Chains A and B, each alone.
Chain A
Amino acid sequence: AQSVTQLGSHVSVSEGALVLLRCNYSSSVPPYLFWYVQYPNQGLQLLLKYTTGATLVKGINGFEAEFKKSETSFHLTKPSAHMSDAAEYFCAVSAGANNLFFGTGTRLTVIP
């Protein structure tokens, strides 16, 4: 079975500070991992994904995530937060199924 846990339903950071959104997964087979962003009343947009190969994945808008098998983690980071980063972020896992299993989301607030 696959599942995703996002630690922290709300995260606040100051503009220019490091963004760290945590995601831990559970999978009985090698996982494929995704981060999506959702702006209010909109659909989800893919930020980045890990399939195989390099464990540090770079995405759009300056975000990146590192796949750590030993820690079953796929945390999302950005060195310097911008006001436009305020949104809800979802981690998802896919492994041997026709489905993406989503976490419950983390709402990021950026303080000016």
Chain B
Amino acid sequence: DGGITQSPKYLFRKEGQNVTLSCEQNLNHDAMYWYRQDPGQGLRLIYYSQIVNDFQKGDIAEGYSVSREKKESFPLTVTSAQKNPTAFYLCASSIGWGDSTEAFFGQGTRLTVV
């Protein structure tokens, strides 16, 4: 079955630690995205990538980093510089990056700082 796999589903982090969220897709999609979801705020774009070895900052990139070494993978690192990292993180992909292309989402990773 084709789809997007995010892991882990739940993640706990101590303050001051970096953590990496995994996102893998087998849809052969060129574009991949990371969104952050907070209650009552909808989804906000962190980073996106249109092609391997290239990525762009979204609206809230501070405190996050990404890489796109393979078409299938787009991991997100939440660094210690992110002041309020507790949130639900969603990875998505689309076949291209045109206006009408729909995004397919993974099941999300819930990150909690303890």
Contact = CB atoms under 8 A, between A and B. Distances in A.
Contacts of B104: 46
Interface in A57-112: 90, 94-100, 102-105
B48 to A, nearest CB: 6
B29 interface: no
Contacts of B56: 98
Contacts of B58: 99
Interface residues of B, number: 28
Interface residues of A, number: 24
In this complex, the member of A34, A45, A94 whose beta carbon has the largest number of chain B beta carbons within 10 angstroms is A94
A94 B48 CA distance: 15
Contact of A99 (B6, B40, B45, B108): B45
A37 B56 CA distance: 27
B107 A43 contact: yes
A74 to B, nearest CB: 14
A14 interface: no
Contact of B108 (A42, A90, A104): A42
A90 B96 CA distance: 21
B100 interface: yes
A20 to B, nearest CB: 20
Given A102-B43, A105-B42, A43 B100 contact: no
B74 interface: no
A44 B102 contact: no
B110 interface: yes
19 contacts: A9-B40, A32-B99, A41-B9, A41-B107, A41-B108, A43-B107, A46-B102, A46-B104, A49-B100, A90-B42, A90-B43, A95-B99, A97-B99, A99-B48, A100-B103, A102-B42, A104-B40, A104-B41, A104-B42
Interface of B: 4, 6, 9, 31, 40-45, 48, 50, 56, 58, 88, 90, 92, 97, 99-100, 102-108, 110
Interface of A: 9, 32, 34, 36, 41-46, 49, 51, 90, 94-100, 102-105
